[in-house]
Structure 1
Protein backbone atom coordinates (compact mmCIF):
# COMPACT_ATOMS: atom_id res chain seq x y z
CA UNK A 1 0.00 0.00 0.00
CA UNK A 2 2.87 2.40 0.71
CA UNK A 3 5.41 4.01 -1.57
CA UNK A 4 8.02 6.66 -0.62
CA UNK A 5 7.49 10.32 -1.39
CA UNK A 6 10.05 13.03 -0.67
CA UNK A 7 8.93 15.98 1.46
CA UNK A 8 10.76 18.98 -0.02
CA UNK A 9 10.43 20.96 3.19
CA UNK A 10 11.89 18.47 5.66
CA UNK A 11 13.81 16.04 3.44
CA UNK A 12 11.85 13.13 4.91
CA UNK A 13 10.47 10.27 2.84
CA UNK A 14 6.69 10.31 3.16
CA UNK A 15 4.55 7.34 2.26
CA UNK A 16 1.51 7.07 0.06
CA UNK A 17 -0.64 5.15 2.52
CA UNK A 18 -3.97 5.35 0.71
CA UNK A 19 -5.54 6.74 -2.47
CA UNK A 20 -8.61 8.93 -1.85
CA UNK A 21 -9.39 8.83 -5.59
CA UNK A 22 -9.61 5.02 -5.78
CA UNK A 23 -12.84 3.55 -7.14
CA UNK A 24 -15.46 2.92 -4.47
CA UNK A 25 -18.44 0.69 -3.89
CA UNK A 26 -21.28 1.44 -1.47
CA UNK A 27 -19.38 -0.13 1.46
CA UNK A 28 -15.72 0.03 0.41
CA UNK A 29 -15.00 3.28 2.25
CA UNK A 30 -16.10 1.76 5.55
CA UNK A 31 -13.85 -1.24 4.96
CA UNK A 32 -10.93 1.05 4.13
CA UNK A 33 -11.45 3.17 7.25
CA UNK A 34 -11.54 0.01 9.40
CA UNK A 35 -8.28 -1.18 7.86
CA UNK A 36 -6.62 2.21 8.28
CA UNK A 37 -7.65 2.47 11.93
CA UNK A 38 -6.01 -0.89 12.58
CA UNK A 39 -2.88 -0.56 10.46
CA UNK A 40 -2.19 3.12 9.71
CA UNK A 41 -4.35 5.49 11.79
CA UNK A 42 -2.20 8.52 10.91
CA UNK A 43 -1.92 8.26 7.14
CA UNK A 44 -0.38 10.30 4.35
CA UNK A 45 -1.47 10.60 0.74
CA UNK A 46 0.59 12.19 -2.02
CA UNK A 47 -2.47 13.24 -4.03
CA UNK A 48 -3.90 16.75 -4.40
CA UNK A 49 -1.02 19.18 -4.94
CA UNK A 50 1.66 17.86 -2.66
CA UNK A 51 -0.27 15.55 -0.43
CA UNK A 52 -2.08 15.69 2.90
CA UNK A 53 -2.46 13.84 6.20
CA UNK A 54 -5.58 11.99 7.31
CA UNK A 55 -6.53 10.79 10.79
CA UNK A 56 -8.73 7.73 11.20
CA UNK A 57 -9.13 7.37 14.97
CA UNK A 58 -11.66 9.31 17.04
CA UNK A 59 -9.16 10.28 19.73
CA UNK A 60 -6.73 11.70 17.16
CA UNK A 61 -9.43 13.71 15.39
CA UNK A 62 -10.63 15.09 18.73
CA UNK A 63 -7.09 16.06 19.72
CA UNK A 64 -6.75 18.08 16.51
CA UNK A 65 -10.12 19.77 16.97
CA UNK A 66 -9.26 20.67 20.57
CA UNK A 67 -5.65 21.64 19.86
CA UNK A 68 -5.78 25.00 18.15
CA UNK A 69 -2.35 25.86 19.58
CA UNK A 70 -0.87 23.23 17.24
CA UNK A 71 -3.44 22.91 14.43
CA UNK A 72 -5.04 25.64 12.35
CA UNK A 73 -7.76 26.11 9.75
CA UNK A 74 -6.41 29.49 8.64
CA UNK A 75 -4.03 27.96 6.07
CA UNK A 76 -6.33 25.33 4.55
CA UNK A 77 -9.54 23.70 5.74
CA UNK A 78 -10.48 21.34 2.89
CA UNK A 79 -8.78 18.70 0.75
CA UNK A 80 -8.31 19.34 -2.10
CA UNK A 81 -7.80 23.06 -1.64
CA UNK A 82 -10.29 25.17 -3.57
CA UNK A 83 -10.19 28.47 -1.73
CA UNK A 84 -8.60 31.05 -4.02
CA UNK A 85 -10.00 34.32 -2.64
CA UNK A 86 -7.94 34.49 0.53
CA UNK A 87 -9.15 33.75 4.04
CA UNK A 88 -12.92 33.37 4.23
CA UNK A 89 -14.45 34.19 7.60
CA UNK A 90 -15.28 32.32 9.70
CA UNK A 91 -14.19 29.08 7.96
CA UNK A 92 -10.53 30.09 7.72
CA UNK A 93 -10.31 31.75 11.13
CA UNK A 94 -9.11 30.33 14.46
CA UNK A 95 -10.19 31.63 17.87
CA UNK A 96 -10.32 34.36 18.96
CA UNK A 97 -11.05 35.75 15.45
CA UNK A 98 -13.51 32.92 14.80
CA UNK A 99 -15.34 33.58 18.09
CA UNK A 100 -16.49 37.06 17.08
CA UNK A 101 -18.31 35.65 14.04
CA UNK A 102 -19.62 32.61 15.88
CA UNK A 103 -21.12 34.77 18.60
CA UNK A 104 -23.33 36.50 16.02
CA UNK A 105 -24.12 33.37 13.98
CA UNK A 106 -25.14 31.31 17.03
CA UNK A 107 -28.00 33.71 17.77
CA UNK A 108 -29.70 32.52 14.57
CA UNK A 109 -29.56 28.83 15.48
CA UNK A 110 -31.65 28.94 18.65
CA UNK A 111 -34.60 26.63 19.19
CA UNK A 112 -37.06 29.48 18.52
CA UNK A 113 -35.34 30.49 15.26
CA UNK A 114 -35.33 26.92 13.98
CA UNK A 115 -38.97 26.44 14.98
CA UNK A 116 -39.91 29.52 12.95
CA UNK A 117 -38.06 28.12 9.93
CA UNK A 118 -39.58 24.64 10.19
CA UNK A 119 -42.92 25.31 8.40
CA UNK A 120 -41.14 26.72 5.35
CA UNK A 121 -38.65 23.84 5.33
CA UNK A 122 -41.51 21.33 5.42
CA UNK A 123 -43.24 23.17 2.57
CA UNK A 124 -40.11 22.97 0.43
CA UNK A 125 -39.72 19.28 1.21
CA UNK A 126 -43.29 18.56 0.10
CA UNK A 127 -42.87 20.58 -3.10
CA UNK A 128 -39.75 18.66 -4.06
CA UNK A 129 -40.89 15.19 -3.04
CA UNK A 130 -44.43 15.29 -4.43
CA UNK A 131 -43.38 14.90 -8.12
CA UNK A 132 -41.18 11.93 -7.21
CA UNK A 133 -43.96 10.27 -5.24
CA UNK A 134 -46.51 10.86 -8.01
CA UNK A 135 -44.13 9.48 -10.62
CA UNK A 136 -43.31 6.50 -8.45
CA UNK A 137 -39.60 6.97 -9.07
CA UNK A 138 -36.87 9.55 -9.35
CA UNK A 139 -33.32 10.43 -8.40
CA UNK A 140 -33.54 11.52 -4.77
CA UNK A 141 -29.98 12.89 -4.85
CA UNK A 142 -30.46 15.18 -7.87
CA UNK A 143 -34.17 15.97 -7.58
CA UNK A 144 -34.31 16.39 -3.81
CA UNK A 145 -31.05 16.37 -1.87
CA UNK A 146 -29.26 18.88 -4.12
CA UNK A 147 -32.21 21.25 -4.19
CA UNK A 148 -33.61 21.17 -0.67
CA UNK A 149 -30.66 22.76 1.20
CA UNK A 150 -30.46 25.72 -1.20
CA UNK A 151 -34.16 26.50 -0.70
CA UNK A 152 -33.88 26.31 3.08
CA UNK A 153 -30.73 28.43 3.15
CA UNK A 154 -32.41 31.02 0.95
CA UNK A 155 -35.31 31.17 3.38
CA UNK A 156 -32.89 31.34 6.29
CA UNK A 157 -31.09 34.29 4.68
CA UNK A 158 -34.32 36.07 3.62
CA UNK A 159 -33.62 35.77 -0.09
CA UNK A 160 -36.26 35.87 -2.87
CA UNK A 161 -37.39 32.64 -4.51
CA UNK A 162 -35.86 33.53 -7.88
CA UNK A 163 -32.46 34.03 -6.29
CA UNK A 164 -32.91 30.77 -4.40
CA UNK A 165 -33.39 28.94 -7.68
CA UNK A 166 -30.25 30.52 -9.13
CA UNK A 167 -28.22 29.63 -6.05
CA UNK A 168 -29.59 26.09 -6.28
CA UNK A 169 -28.42 25.68 -9.87
CA UNK A 170 -24.98 27.17 -9.28
CA UNK A 171 -24.49 25.27 -6.03
CA UNK A 172 -25.37 21.94 -7.64
CA UNK A 173 -22.89 22.56 -10.46
CA UNK A 174 -20.29 23.73 -7.94
CA UNK A 175 -20.61 20.55 -5.87
CA UNK A 176 -20.44 18.40 -9.00
CA UNK A 177 -17.25 20.17 -10.08
CA UNK A 178 -15.68 19.63 -6.67
CA UNK A 179 -16.47 15.92 -6.78
CA UNK A 180 -14.51 15.44 -10.00
CA UNK A 181 -11.85 18.03 -9.07
CA UNK A 182 -12.72 20.26 -12.03
CA UNK A 183 -10.73 23.21 -10.77
CA UNK A 184 -11.57 25.63 -13.59
CA UNK A 185 -15.31 25.23 -13.05
CA UNK A 186 -14.94 25.30 -9.28
CA UNK A 187 -13.23 28.67 -9.57
CA UNK A 188 -15.76 30.00 -12.09
CA UNK A 189 -18.79 28.92 -10.09
CA UNK A 190 -17.29 30.01 -6.81
CA UNK A 191 -16.78 33.50 -8.23
CA UNK A 192 -20.42 33.51 -9.32
CA UNK A 193 -21.53 32.64 -5.79
CA UNK A 194 -19.32 35.40 -4.43
CA UNK A 195 -20.95 37.86 -6.82
CA UNK A 196 -24.37 36.85 -5.52
CA UNK A 197 -23.19 37.24 -1.93
CA UNK A 198 -21.81 40.68 -2.70
CA UNK A 199 -25.11 41.69 -4.31
CA UNK A 200 -26.97 40.62 -1.17
CA UNK A 201 -24.59 42.66 0.99
CA UNK A 202 -25.02 45.70 -1.27
CA UNK A 203 -28.79 45.32 -1.05
CA UNK A 204 -28.69 45.14 2.76
CA UNK A 205 -26.59 48.29 2.84
CA UNK A 206 -29.09 50.10 0.64
CA UNK A 207 -32.16 48.67 2.40
CA UNK A 208 -31.19 47.40 5.87
CA UNK A 209 -33.18 44.65 7.58
CA UNK A 210 -33.67 44.01 11.29
CA UNK A 211 -30.35 42.56 12.60
CA UNK A 212 -32.43 40.45 14.97
CA UNK A 213 -34.15 38.73 12.04
CA UNK A 214 -31.52 38.72 9.29
CA UNK A 215 -28.10 37.13 9.71
CA UNK A 216 -26.45 39.16 6.94
CA UNK A 217 -27.58 42.40 8.57
CA UNK A 218 -26.47 41.13 11.99
CA UNK A 219 -22.95 40.34 10.72
CA UNK A 220 -22.70 43.72 9.03
CA UNK A 221 -23.76 45.49 12.22
CA UNK A 222 -21.41 43.53 14.49
CA UNK A 223 -17.96 44.60 15.62
Structure 2
Protein backbone atom coordinates (compact mmCIF):
# COMPACT_ATOMS: atom_id res chain seq x y z
CA UNK A 1 0.00 0.00 0.00
CA UNK A 2 1.22 3.46 -0.77
CA UNK A 3 1.32 6.24 1.79
CA UNK A 4 2.97 9.62 2.20
CA UNK A 5 5.97 10.75 4.26
CA UNK A 6 5.67 8.07 6.92
CA UNK A 7 9.07 7.31 8.42
CA UNK A 8 9.26 3.76 9.70
CA UNK A 9 12.00 3.00 12.25
CA UNK A 10 11.47 -0.74 12.13
CA UNK A 11 13.34 -2.48 9.31
CA UNK A 12 11.14 -5.42 8.42
CA UNK A 13 13.35 -6.36 5.47
CA UNK A 14 15.96 -8.09 7.60
CA UNK A 15 16.14 -11.83 7.04
CA UNK A 16 15.93 -12.69 10.72
CA UNK A 17 12.53 -11.11 11.27
CA UNK A 18 10.66 -13.59 13.48
CA UNK A 19 7.40 -12.93 11.66
CA UNK A 20 8.99 -13.88 8.34
CA UNK A 21 10.93 -17.03 9.24
CA UNK A 22 9.51 -18.38 12.51
CA UNK A 23 7.44 -21.53 12.79
CA UNK A 24 6.42 -20.53 16.32
CA UNK A 25 3.18 -18.50 16.50
CA UNK A 26 4.16 -17.01 19.86
CA UNK A 27 7.24 -15.42 18.28
CA UNK A 28 5.10 -14.15 15.43
CA UNK A 29 2.55 -12.69 17.87
CA UNK A 30 5.39 -11.01 19.75
CA UNK A 31 6.56 -9.27 16.61
CA UNK A 32 3.03 -8.19 15.77
CA UNK A 33 2.74 -6.76 19.30
CA UNK A 34 5.95 -4.79 18.76
CA UNK A 35 4.77 -3.40 15.45
CA UNK A 36 1.34 -2.42 16.77
CA UNK A 37 2.93 -0.49 19.63
CA UNK A 38 5.93 1.05 17.85
CA UNK A 39 5.37 1.15 14.09
CA UNK A 40 1.81 0.25 13.11
CA UNK A 41 2.46 1.01 9.43
CA UNK A 42 5.40 -1.11 8.32
CA UNK A 43 7.15 -0.92 4.96
CA UNK A 44 8.60 -4.00 3.31
CA UNK A 45 10.73 -4.03 0.15
CA UNK A 46 9.75 -7.59 -0.74
CA UNK A 47 7.29 -8.26 -3.57
CA UNK A 48 7.88 -4.88 -5.22
CA UNK A 49 7.31 -3.01 -1.99
CA UNK A 50 4.25 -2.74 0.23
CA UNK A 51 2.98 -1.32 3.49
CA UNK A 52 1.56 -3.62 6.16
CA UNK A 53 -1.04 -2.33 8.64
CA UNK A 54 -1.15 -3.91 12.10
CA UNK A 55 -3.78 -1.82 13.94
CA UNK A 56 -7.48 -2.64 13.88
CA UNK A 57 -8.76 0.87 13.12
CA UNK A 58 -6.36 1.34 10.20
CA UNK A 59 -7.34 -2.01 8.67
CA UNK A 60 -11.05 -1.25 9.15
CA UNK A 61 -10.77 2.24 7.65
CA UNK A 62 -8.79 1.08 4.62
CA UNK A 63 -11.19 -1.80 3.91
CA UNK A 64 -14.16 0.55 4.25
CA UNK A 65 -12.79 3.20 1.87
CA UNK A 66 -13.15 1.66 -1.57
CA UNK A 67 -12.64 5.00 -3.30
CA UNK A 68 -9.18 5.69 -1.90
CA UNK A 69 -7.94 2.11 -1.63
CA UNK A 70 -8.58 -0.14 -4.62
CA UNK A 71 -8.13 -3.86 -5.28
CA UNK A 72 -7.73 -3.76 -9.05
CA UNK A 73 -3.98 -3.04 -8.92
CA UNK A 74 -3.01 -5.74 -6.42
CA UNK A 75 -5.34 -7.78 -4.22
CA UNK A 76 -2.96 -10.41 -2.84
CA UNK A 77 0.72 -10.24 -1.91
CA UNK A 78 2.66 -11.74 -3.60
CA UNK A 79 0.68 -10.98 -6.74
CA UNK A 80 0.30 -13.36 -9.65
CA UNK A 81 3.25 -12.63 -11.99
CA UNK A 82 1.00 -13.36 -14.98
CA UNK A 83 -1.01 -10.23 -14.21
CA UNK A 84 -4.33 -12.07 -14.34
CA UNK A 85 -7.33 -10.06 -13.08
CA UNK A 86 -9.79 -12.50 -11.57
CA UNK A 87 -13.27 -11.16 -10.83
CA UNK A 88 -14.54 -10.04 -8.43
CA UNK A 89 -11.47 -9.84 -6.17
CA UNK A 90 -9.43 -7.63 -8.52
CA UNK A 91 -12.33 -5.55 -9.81
CA UNK A 92 -13.61 -2.28 -8.37
CA UNK A 93 -16.69 -0.11 -8.73
CA UNK A 94 -19.08 -0.83 -11.56
CA UNK A 95 -16.87 -3.67 -12.84
CA UNK A 96 -17.17 -5.40 -9.48
CA UNK A 97 -20.94 -5.03 -9.00
CA UNK A 98 -22.42 -7.72 -11.32
CA UNK A 99 -20.04 -10.40 -10.06
CA UNK A 100 -20.79 -9.57 -6.45
CA UNK A 101 -24.52 -9.58 -7.18
CA UNK A 102 -24.28 -13.03 -8.73
CA UNK A 103 -22.25 -14.35 -5.78
CA UNK A 104 -24.56 -12.94 -3.13
CA UNK A 105 -27.59 -14.45 -4.84
CA UNK A 106 -26.24 -17.98 -4.26
CA UNK A 107 -25.16 -17.40 -0.64
CA UNK A 108 -28.48 -16.56 0.95
CA UNK A 109 -29.28 -18.24 4.28
CA UNK A 110 -32.19 -20.35 2.95
CA UNK A 111 -30.03 -22.05 0.33
CA UNK A 112 -27.06 -22.50 2.65
CA UNK A 113 -29.39 -24.23 5.12
CA UNK A 114 -30.20 -26.77 2.41
CA UNK A 115 -26.48 -27.42 1.90
CA UNK A 116 -25.73 -27.98 5.59
CA UNK A 117 -26.68 -31.69 5.81
CA UNK A 118 -24.60 -32.42 2.71
CA UNK A 119 -21.59 -30.73 4.26
CA UNK A 120 -22.10 -32.61 7.51
CA UNK A 121 -22.10 -35.93 5.62
CA UNK A 122 -18.80 -34.98 3.93
CA UNK A 123 -17.26 -33.98 7.27
CA UNK A 124 -18.38 -37.25 8.90
CA UNK A 125 -16.91 -39.33 6.09
CA UNK A 126 -13.57 -37.54 5.88
CA UNK A 127 -13.14 -37.46 9.64
CA UNK A 128 -14.10 -41.13 9.79
CA UNK A 129 -11.12 -41.98 7.59
CA UNK A 130 -8.75 -40.38 10.10
CA UNK A 131 -10.48 -42.00 13.07
CA UNK A 132 -10.31 -45.44 11.48
CA UNK A 133 -6.59 -44.99 10.93
CA UNK A 134 -6.12 -43.45 14.38
CA UNK A 135 -3.90 -40.64 13.17
CA UNK A 136 -3.54 -38.13 10.37
CA UNK A 137 -2.75 -34.56 9.41
CA UNK A 138 -5.83 -32.47 10.07
CA UNK A 139 -4.58 -29.63 7.86
CA UNK A 140 -3.14 -31.31 4.78
CA UNK A 141 -5.69 -34.14 4.77
CA UNK A 142 -9.03 -33.16 6.33
CA UNK A 143 -8.54 -29.39 6.12
CA UNK A 144 -7.40 -29.47 2.50
CA UNK A 145 -10.15 -31.77 1.25
CA UNK A 146 -13.27 -30.64 3.12
CA UNK A 147 -13.38 -27.12 1.57
CA UNK A 148 -13.18 -28.69 -1.90
CA UNK A 149 -16.19 -30.86 -1.04
CA UNK A 150 -18.04 -27.75 0.11
CA UNK A 151 -17.25 -26.14 -3.24
CA UNK A 152 -18.56 -29.26 -4.98
CA UNK A 153 -21.98 -28.82 -3.38
CA UNK A 154 -22.12 -25.04 -3.72
CA UNK A 155 -21.07 -25.09 -7.39
CA UNK A 156 -23.06 -28.26 -8.24
CA UNK A 157 -20.01 -30.00 -9.68
CA UNK A 158 -20.17 -33.49 -11.12
CA UNK A 159 -17.89 -36.22 -9.78
CA UNK A 160 -15.16 -35.64 -12.39
CA UNK A 161 -14.82 -31.94 -11.70
CA UNK A 162 -15.20 -32.45 -7.97
CA UNK A 163 -12.24 -34.85 -8.01
CA UNK A 164 -10.16 -32.46 -10.12
CA UNK A 165 -10.93 -29.58 -7.76
CA UNK A 166 -10.00 -31.62 -4.67
CA UNK A 167 -6.70 -32.60 -6.27
CA UNK A 168 -5.86 -29.03 -7.30
CA UNK A 169 -6.78 -26.84 -4.32
CA UNK A 170 -3.97 -27.78 -1.93
CA UNK A 171 -1.20 -27.69 -4.58
CA UNK A 172 -2.46 -24.27 -5.67
CA UNK A 173 -2.35 -22.79 -2.17
CA UNK A 174 0.97 -24.36 -1.20
CA UNK A 175 2.73 -23.43 -4.45
CA UNK A 176 1.51 -19.83 -4.10
CA UNK A 177 3.05 -19.70 -0.63
CA UNK A 178 6.40 -20.97 -1.90
CA UNK A 179 6.42 -18.92 -5.12
CA UNK A 180 6.38 -21.96 -7.41
CA UNK A 181 4.56 -20.18 -10.21
CA UNK A 182 4.76 -23.13 -12.59
CA UNK A 183 2.79 -25.21 -10.09
CA UNK A 184 0.42 -22.31 -9.53
CA UNK A 185 -0.31 -22.19 -13.25
CA UNK A 186 -0.91 -25.94 -13.49
CA UNK A 187 -3.40 -25.86 -10.63
CA UNK A 188 -4.98 -22.66 -11.95
CA UNK A 189 -5.42 -24.24 -15.36
CA UNK A 190 -7.40 -27.03 -13.69
CA UNK A 191 -9.74 -24.48 -12.15
CA UNK A 192 -10.34 -22.90 -15.56
CA UNK A 193 -11.08 -26.31 -17.09
CA UNK A 194 -13.71 -26.87 -14.43
CA UNK A 195 -15.16 -23.39 -14.93
CA UNK A 196 -15.39 -23.72 -18.72
CA UNK A 197 -17.17 -27.07 -18.44
CA UNK A 198 -19.61 -25.83 -15.81
CA UNK A 199 -20.48 -22.61 -17.65
CA UNK A 200 -20.93 -24.48 -20.95
CA UNK A 201 -23.26 -26.96 -19.25
CA UNK A 202 -25.34 -24.19 -17.65
CA UNK A 203 -25.66 -22.35 -20.96
CA UNK A 204 -27.40 -25.45 -22.31
CA UNK A 205 -29.30 -26.40 -19.15
CA UNK A 206 -29.54 -23.56 -16.62
CA UNK A 207 -30.29 -24.27 -12.96
CA UNK A 208 -32.07 -22.04 -10.45
CA UNK A 209 -29.84 -18.94 -10.16
CA UNK A 210 -30.37 -18.88 -6.38
CA UNK A 211 -28.86 -22.38 -6.18
CA UNK A 212 -26.09 -22.32 -8.77
CA UNK A 213 -23.30 -19.78 -9.24
CA UNK A 214 -22.72 -20.35 -12.95
CA UNK A 215 -26.43 -19.90 -13.69
CA UNK A 216 -26.46 -16.78 -11.52
CA UNK A 217 -23.48 -15.30 -13.36
CA UNK A 218 -25.12 -15.94 -16.72
CA UNK A 219 -27.98 -13.64 -15.68
CA UNK A 220 -25.70 -10.64 -15.11
CA UNK A 221 -24.39 -8.03 -17.56
CA UNK A 222 -21.42 -5.69 -17.28
CA UNK A 223 -21.70 -1.89 -17.04
CA UNK A 224 -22.00 -1.68 -20.84
CA UNK A 225 -24.93 -4.10 -20.87
CA UNK A 226 -22.90 -6.98 -22.28
CA UNK A 227 -22.94 -10.54 -20.88
CA UNK A 228 -20.15 -11.24 -18.43
CA UNK A 229 -17.02 -12.94 -19.65
CA UNK A 230 -17.27 -16.70 -19.05
CA UNK A 231 -14.55 -16.76 -16.37
CA UNK A 232 -15.05 -18.39 -12.97
CA UNK A 233 -17.26 -15.67 -12.87
CA UNK A 234 -16.18 -14.86 15.15
CA UNK A 235 -13.10 -15.94 17.42
CA UNK A 236 -11.69 -18.67 15.16
CA UNK A 237 -11.97 -16.23 12.31
CA UNK A 238 -10.50 -13.27 14.21
CA UNK A 239 -7.40 -15.07 15.50
CA UNK A 240 -6.79 -17.74 12.88
CA UNK A 241 -7.78 -16.05 9.62
CA UNK A 242 -5.43 -17.66 7.10
CA UNK A 243 -5.23 -14.76 4.66
CA UNK A 244 -4.00 -11.61 6.36
CA UNK A 245 -2.34 -10.44 3.17
CA UNK A 246 -5.20 -9.11 1.08
CA UNK A 247 -3.98 -5.82 -0.31
CA UNK A 248 -5.28 -2.44 -1.35
CA UNK A 249 -3.49 0.29 -3.33
CA UNK A 250 -3.99 3.94 -2.42
CA UNK A 251 -5.04 6.19 -5.28
CA UNK A 252 -3.64 9.27 -3.54
CA UNK A 253 -1.12 9.92 -0.73
CA UNK A 254 -2.53 8.94 2.70
CA UNK A 255 -0.98 9.03 6.16
CA UNK A 256 -2.04 6.21 8.47
CA UNK A 257 -1.19 6.37 12.17
CA UNK A 258 2.20 7.70 13.22
CA UNK A 259 5.56 6.08 13.62
CA UNK A 260 5.05 5.59 17.38
CA UNK A 261 1.80 4.65 19.11
CA UNK A 262 1.35 6.15 22.63
CA UNK A 263 1.88 3.54 25.28
CA UNK A 264 -1.63 3.79 26.75
CA UNK A 265 -3.56 4.03 23.50
CA UNK A 266 -6.62 1.75 23.76
CA UNK A 267 -6.73 -1.45 21.71
CA UNK A 268 -9.76 -3.08 20.11
CA UNK A 269 -9.15 -6.56 21.52
CA UNK A 270 -7.61 -7.09 24.96
CA UNK A 271 -4.90 -9.79 24.90
CA UNK A 272 -5.25 -10.15 21.11
CA UNK A 273 -3.00 -13.22 20.91
CA UNK A 274 -5.20 -15.29 23.23
CA UNK A 275 -8.21 -17.39 22.26
CA UNK A 276 -11.17 -16.07 24.26
CA UNK A 277 -14.75 -16.94 23.37
CA UNK A 278 -16.14 -14.52 25.98
CA UNK A 279 -15.09 -11.30 24.25
CA UNK A 280 -17.93 -8.80 24.35
CA UNK A 281 -16.86 -7.26 21.04
CA UNK A 282 -16.06 -10.47 19.15
CA UNK A 283 -18.52 -9.61 16.36
CA UNK A 284 -16.33 -6.68 15.36
CA UNK A 285 -13.52 -8.95 14.14
CA UNK A 286 -12.28 -8.25 10.60
CA UNK A 287 -11.43 -11.80 9.56
CA UNK A 288 -13.85 -11.55 6.63
CA UNK A 289 -12.79 -8.04 5.68
CA UNK A 290 -15.08 -5.06 5.44
CA UNK A 291 -16.65 -2.86 2.82
CA UNK A 292 -17.21 -3.64 -0.85
CA UNK A 293 -14.72 -6.51 -0.88
CA UNK A 294 -15.79 -8.20 2.35
CA UNK A 295 -15.82 -11.97 1.98
CA UNK A 296 -18.88 -12.98 -0.04
CA UNK A 297 -18.76 -16.48 1.41
CA UNK A 298 -18.57 -15.55 5.10
CA UNK A 299 -21.93 -17.18 5.90
CA UNK A 300 -20.81 -20.36 4.14
CA UNK A 301 -17.45 -20.26 5.94
CA UNK A 302 -19.14 -19.90 9.31
CA UNK A 303 -21.39 -22.84 8.50
CA UNK A 304 -18.40 -24.97 7.48
CA UNK A 305 -16.68 -24.23 10.76
CA UNK A 306 -19.84 -24.99 12.74
CA UNK A 307 -20.33 -28.30 10.91
CA UNK A 308 -16.76 -29.42 11.56
CA UNK A 309 -16.93 -28.55 15.25
CA UNK A 310 -20.27 -30.32 15.60
CA UNK A 311 -18.92 -33.45 13.93
CA UNK A 312 -15.85 -33.49 16.19
CA UNK A 313 -17.98 -33.05 19.31
CA UNK A 314 -20.65 -35.55 18.24
CA UNK A 315 -18.03 -38.25 17.67
CA UNK A 316 -16.60 -37.73 21.18
CA UNK A 317 -13.04 -37.50 19.91
CA UNK A 318 -9.94 -37.22 22.06
CA UNK A 319 -6.91 -35.98 20.18
CA UNK A 320 -3.33 -34.94 20.71
CA UNK A 321 -0.60 -33.48 18.54
CA UNK A 322 1.62 -36.22 17.12
CA UNK A 323 4.56 -34.34 15.67
CA UNK A 324 5.69 -30.84 14.81
CA UNK A 325 3.00 -28.49 13.50
CA UNK A 326 3.86 -26.37 10.48
CA UNK A 327 2.78 -22.74 10.19
CA UNK A 328 2.53 -20.42 7.22
CA UNK A 329 4.70 -17.33 7.17
CA UNK A 330 3.64 -13.70 7.27
CA UNK A 331 1.37 -12.27 6.01
CA UNK A 332 -0.41 -15.52 6.88
CA UNK A 333 -0.36 -16.96 10.36
CA UNK A 334 -2.42 -20.11 9.91
CA UNK A 335 -1.39 -23.69 10.63
CA UNK A 336 -0.80 -25.61 7.38
CA UNK A 337 0.27 -28.93 8.86
CA UNK A 338 -0.73 -30.64 12.12
CA UNK A 339 -0.13 -34.38 12.61
CA UNK A 340 -2.48 -35.74 15.26
CA UNK A 341 -3.56 -38.92 17.03
CA UNK A 342 -7.25 -39.64 17.48
CA UNK A 343 -9.25 -41.78 19.85
CA UNK A 344 -13.01 -42.03 20.15
CA UNK A 345 -14.14 -41.96 23.80
CA UNK A 346 -16.34 -44.82 24.87
CA UNK A 347 -19.85 -44.05 26.03
CA UNK A 348 -20.07 -43.74 29.85
Report the 3-state secondary structure (helix = DSSP H, G, I; strand = E; otherwise coil) of the residue aligned with 1:153. Answer: helix
Residue in 2 aligned with 1:186? Answer: 184
Report the 3-state secondary structure (helix = DSSP H, G, I; strand = E; otherwise coil) of the residue aligned with 1:44. Answer: strand
- Separation (CA, whole Å) in 2 of partners of 1:13 and 1:42: 9
1:153 is aligned to 2:190: no
Residue in 2 aligned with 1:36? Answer: 35
Residue in 1 aligned with 2:105? Answer: 107
User: How much does 1:118 deviate?
Assistant: 0.2
1:196 is aligned to 2:191: no
1:90 to 79, 88, 91: 88
Aligned length: 213
User: How much does 1:170 deviate?
Assistant: 0.8
User: How much does 1:16 deviate?
Assistant: 4.0
Residue in 1 aligned with 2:115? Answer: 117
Q: Which deviates more from structure 2 when the two are superposed, residues 72-81 or residues 103-112? A: 103-112
Normalized per residue, which structure has more helix?
1
User: How much does 1:210 deviate?
Assistant: 2.5
Kept in 1, the 8 Å contact 2:126–2:142? The answer is yes
TM-score under structure 2 length normalisation:
0.57
1:218 to 197, 210, 216: 216
Kept in 1, the 8 Å contact 2:209–2:215? The answer is yes
User: How much does 1:125 deviate?
Assistant: 0.1
User: How much does 1:62 deviate?
Assistant: 1.0
Residue in 2 aligned with 1:4? Answer: none
- Separation (CA, whole Å) in 1 of partners of 2:140 and 2:84: 31
* 4+ residue runs over 3 A deviation: 12-16, 18-21
Kept in 2, the 8 Å contact 1:204–1:217? The answer is yes
Kept in 1, the 8 Å contact 2:85–2:91? The answer is yes
Q: Deviations over 1:149-195 (max 9, x none)?
A: 00011111111123212101111111111121212211222122112
Residue in 1 aligned with 2:163? Answer: 165
User: How much does 1:28 deviate?
Assistant: 2.1
User: How much does 1:71 deviate?
Assistant: 0.7
Structure 2's unaligned 5+ residue stretches are 222-348
Residue in 2 aligned with 1:72? Answer: 70
- Separation (CA, whole Å) in 2 of partners of 1:83 and 1:220: 29
Q: Deviations over 1:13-38 (max 9, x none)?
A: 98742556423313222111111101
User: How much does 1:85 deviate?
Assistant: 5.5
TM-score under structure 1 length normalisation:
0.87
User: How much does 1:135 deviate?
Assistant: 2.0
User: How much does 1:43 deviate?
Assistant: 0.5
Kept in 2, the 8 Å contact 1:73–1:91? The answer is yes
Report the 3-state secondary structure (helix = DSSP H, G, I; strand = E; otherwise coil) of the residue aligned with 2:216. Answer: helix
Report the 3-state secondary structure (helix = DSSP H, G, I; strand = E; otherwise coil) of the residue aligned with 1:54. Answer: strand
Kept in 1, the 8 Å contact 2:105–2:209? The answer is no
Q: Which deviates more from structure 2 when the two are superposed, residues 29-38 or residues 118-127? A: 29-38
User: How much does 1:205 deviate?
Assistant: 1.6
The root-mean-square deviation of aligned C-alpha atoms, in Å, is 2.3
Report the 3-state secondary structure (helix = DSSP H, G, I; strand = E; otherwise coil) of the residue aligned with 2:52. Answer: strand
Q: Deviations over 1:90-134 (max 9, x none)?
A: 111122332322222212222211110000000000110001112
Q: Specify which structure has the bigger relative contact order, considering alpha-carbon pairs within 8 angstroms and separated by 6 or more residues.
A: 2
